Amino acid sequence: MDPFGILYTDLYQLTMGQVYFRMGLHEREALFETFYRRNPDYGAHQAGYTVFAGLDPLLSWMEEARFGEAELNALRALKSRSGRPLFSEDYLAYLKAMGGFSGLTVRAHLEGRVAHPQVPLISVEGPLLQAQLLETALLNRINYETLVATKASRVREAAGEAVVLEFGLRRAPGKGGESATRASLIGGADRSSAVSLSHLLGLPSSGTHAHSLVQAFLALGHSEEEAFQAFAEVFPDDTILLLDTVDTLHSGLPHAIKVFEALRKKGHRPVGVRIDSGDLAYLAIQVARELDKAGFPEALIVLSGDLDELVIWQIKSQILEEAPRYGVEPEALLKRLVFGVGTRMVVSWGYPALGGVYKLVAIRENGAWAPAIKISDSLEKILNPGHKRVYRVYDERGLATADLLALAEEEVREDRPLTLRHPTDPTKRRVLSPGAFTLEPLLVEVFRGGKRLFPPLSIKELRARRDRDVARLDPGVRRLVNPHIYHVSLTERLFALKEELVRKLDR
Question: Hey, which residues between 404 and 433 contact a copy of itself (CB under 8 A)?
Answer: none
54 or 423, CB closer to a copy of itself?
54
For a copy of itself, which residue of 97, 265, 325, 377 counts as binding (CB under 8 A)?
A: 377
Find how far residue 39's CA is from the centre of its chain. 12
Measure the CA dihedral 104/110/114/117, to 10°: -10
For a copy of itself, which residue of 111, 125, 178, 469 counts as binding (CB under 8 A)?
A: 178
Question: Hey, which residues between 441 and 500 contact a copy of itself (CB under 8 A)?
Answer: none
- Work out whether 32 is an interface residue with a copy of itself (CB under 8 A): yes
Question: Hey, which residues between 222 and 251 contact a copy of itself (CB under 8 A)?
Answer: 230-231, 233-238, 244-247
32 or 52, CB closer to a copy of itself?
32
- Taking the complex as a whole, the smallest distance from the CB of residue 105 to a copy of itself amounts, in Å, to 18
For a copy of itself, which residue of 93, 368, 375, 471 counts as binding (CB under 8 A)?
A: 375
For a copy of itself, which residue of 96, 258, 289, 359 counts as binding (CB under 8 A)?
A: 359
**CA-based torsion, 224, 228, 234, 235: positive or negative:** positive
- Work out whether 4 is an interface residue with a copy of itself (CB under 8 A): yes
Query: Which region, judged by CB under 8 A, interacts with a copy of itself, from 44-52, 218-226, 429-437, 476-484?
Result: 218-226
Contact (Cβ atoms closer than 8 angstroms) between residue 260 and residue 301: no
Query: Are β-strands 487-490 and 451-452 bridged in parallel, bridged antiparallel, or unpaired?
Result: unpaired
For a copy of itself, which residue of 210, 379, 444, 464 counts as binding (CB under 8 A)?
A: 210
- Work out whether 164 is an interface residue with a copy of itself (CB under 8 A): no
DSSP letter, residue 37: S
CA dist., res. 150 & res. 401, Å (int): 19
- Taking the complex as a whole, the smallest distance from the CB of residue 185 to a copy of itself amounts, in Å, to 14
CA dist., res. 458 & res. 201, Å (int): 7
For a copy of itself, which residue of 365, 380, 410, 440 counts as binding (CB under 8 A)?
A: 365
CA dist., res. 382 & res. 359, Å (int): 11
Query: Which region, judged by CB under 8 A, interacts with a copy of itself, from 209-217, 316-324, 327-335, 491-499?
Result: 209-217
**Which residues have C-beta within 8 Å of that of residue 279, sequence separation ≥ 6?**
none
109 or 141, CB closer to a copy of itself?
141
**Which residues have C-beta within 8 Å of that of residue 222, sequence separation ≥ 6?**
none
Looking at residue 175, its amino acid is K
57 or 187, CB closer to a copy of itself?
57
**Which residues have C-beta within 8 Å of that of residue 287, sequence separation ≥ 6?**
243, 248, 249, 253, 273, 275, 301
16 or 320, CB closer to a copy of itself?
16
Distances in Å between the alpha carbon of 397 and those of 28, 484, 489? 45, 17, 20
Beta bridge partners of 394: 400, 438
Query: Which region, judged by CB under 8 A, interacts with a copy of itself, from 140-148, 394-402, 416-424, 466-474?
Result: 140-148
- Work out whether 379 is an interface residue with a copy of itself (CB under 8 A): no
Contact (Cβ atoms closer than 8 angstroms) between residue 168 and residue 343: yes
- Work out whether 136 is an interface residue with a copy of itself (CB under 8 A): yes
Contact (Cβ atoms closer than 8 angstroms) between residue 348 and residue 150: yes
For a copy of itself, which residue of 37, 38, 170, 468 counts as binding (CB under 8 A)?
A: 170
Q: CA Rg, the chain, in Å?
A: 27
Question: Hey, which residues between 249 and 308 contact a copy of itself (CB under 8 A)?
Answer: 271, 277-278
CA dist., res. 151 & res. 163, Å (int): 16
Looking at residue 70, its amino acid is A
Distance linking the first and last C-alpha atoms of the chain = 49
- Taking the complex as a whole, the smallest distance from the CB of residue 452 to a copy of itself amounts, in Å, to 18
Core vs surface per residue 23-35: b (16+ CB within 10 A) or e: eeebbbbbbbbbb
Read off φ and ψ for residue 19, nearest 5 degrees: -65, -45
**Which residues have C-beta within 8 Å of that of residue 233, sequence separation ≥ 6?**
none
- Taking the complex as a whole, the smallest distance from the CB of residue 476 to a copy of itself amounts, in Å, to 28
For a copy of itself, which residue of 93, 195, 464, 471 counts as binding (CB under 8 A)?
A: 195
For a copy of itself, which residue of 48, 103, 187, 371 counts as binding (CB under 8 A)?
A: 371
For a copy of itself, which residue of 97, 174, 398, 435 counts as binding (CB under 8 A)?
A: 174
Question: Hey, which residues between 333 and 352 contact a copy of itself (CB under 8 A)?
Answer: 343-344, 346-349, 352
CA dist., res. 480 & res. 350, Å (int): 14
Contact (Cβ atoms closer than 8 angstroms) between residue 402 and residue 423: no
- Work out whether 199 is an interface residue with a copy of itself (CB under 8 A): yes
- Taking the complex as a whole, the smallest distance from the CB of residue 495 to a copy of itself amounts, in Å, to 19
How many residues sit in the footprint of a copy of itself (CB under 8 A)? 127
- Work out whether 180 is an interface residue with a copy of itself (CB under 8 A): yes
Question: Hey, which residues between 72 and 111 contact a copy of itself (CB under 8 A)?
Answer: 74-75, 77-82, 84, 86
38 or 416, CB closer to a copy of itself?
38
